[in-house]
Chain A
Amino acid sequence: MPAITPHIRIQTADFDVGEEIAGLSRGRKDIGAVVTFTGLCRDEAGKLSALELEHYPGMAEAAIQRIAGEACTRWPLQGVTVIHRYGRMEPGDNIVLVATASTHRQAAFEAATFIMDFLKSRAPFWKKEHRADGSQGDWVEAREADEAALSAWGK
């Protein structure tokens, strides 16, 4: 199987999930499964008006490229797309997309989960809250569960 090149985009602009799925499978007859995960900005029961996402330009692309590349060595994938936005996001807005394509569903599901698990705490992004009442928000704290998820993958 020829090595595939993951498509990584770090951008402020929104993305169209349907268009990204179509882009992975267009013109292909060998793909049996496409799995997508979309991460959205949520309002925390009305408390949040927005999230401000900061990133480390350069390192963000490289880190996600490395994570997606690692997924390609672990599972037989036929396509990977990862899009991560930065800037200001309001509740309901897309933040991140991971899409994986494979012959069978298990590889696509597992690879998408692996990429998200590593992306949460190894890709250099930080989220700052903007509160609905106009007060100064906090930086979102890393969750221990996210770090534990990495250990579960054995590295």
Chain B
Amino acid sequence: MKLIYFAWVRERIGKAEEVVDLPAGLETVSDLLGWLRERGEEYENALQHPEVIRVAINQEHVAHGEKIAGANEIALFPPMTGG
């Protein structure tokens, strides 16, 4: 599974992207965020308020309840500030 990070999520985690092996039992975006937070201090720091984290699966913006099965690329980022 490819994970991509943007803006302050990228800065706090300290990398722009990584490939990870997800353990069995992770079903939703929320499960993924919970698992990532246990990977180290930098992840805990980036994801300490998971409700503000926006998520895209295969470049489509999704809610935290979305299932992650079938995802090739999951991106995590702060609320978007375009325009």
Contacts and interface: CB of A to CB of B under 8 A. Distances in A.
Interface of A: 39, 54, 56, 58-59, 62-63, 84, 95-96, 116, 119-128, 139-142
Contact of B82 (A58, A120, A139): A120
23 contacts: A54-B7, A56-B75, A56-B77, A58-B59, A59-B75, A62-B59, A84-B82, A96-B83, A119-B83, A120-B81, A120-B82, A120-B83, A121-B81, A122-B82, A124-B6, A124-B56, A124-B77, A126-B6, A126-B7, A139-B7, A140-B81, A142-B79, A142-B80
Contacts of B6: 54, 56, 124, 126
A116 B4 CA distance: 26
Given A56-B56, A126-B7, A142-B80, 6 more contacts: A39-B83, A95-B83, A121-B79, A121-B82, A124-B80, A126-B81
B61 A122 contact: yes
Contact of B80 (A39, A116, A121): A121
Contacts of A121: 79-82
A-B pairs, 10 with minimum CB distance: A142-B79, A125-B82, A126-B7, A59-B59, A123-B82, A120-B83, A140-B81, A139-B8, A127-B81, A119-B83
A46 to B, nearest CB: 21
B8 A124 contact: no
Interface of B: 4, 6-8, 56, 59-61, 75, 77-83
Q: Is the interface of A mostly helix, strand, loop or mixed?
A: mixed
Contacts of B77: 56, 124, 126
Contacts of A123: 80, 82-83
Contacts of A96: 82-83
A54 B81 CA distance: 10
Most A Cβ at <10 Å: residue of B75, B81, B82: B82
A125 B80 CA distance: 6
A81 to B, nearest CB: 15
B83 A116 contact: yes
Contacts of B59: 56, 58-59, 62
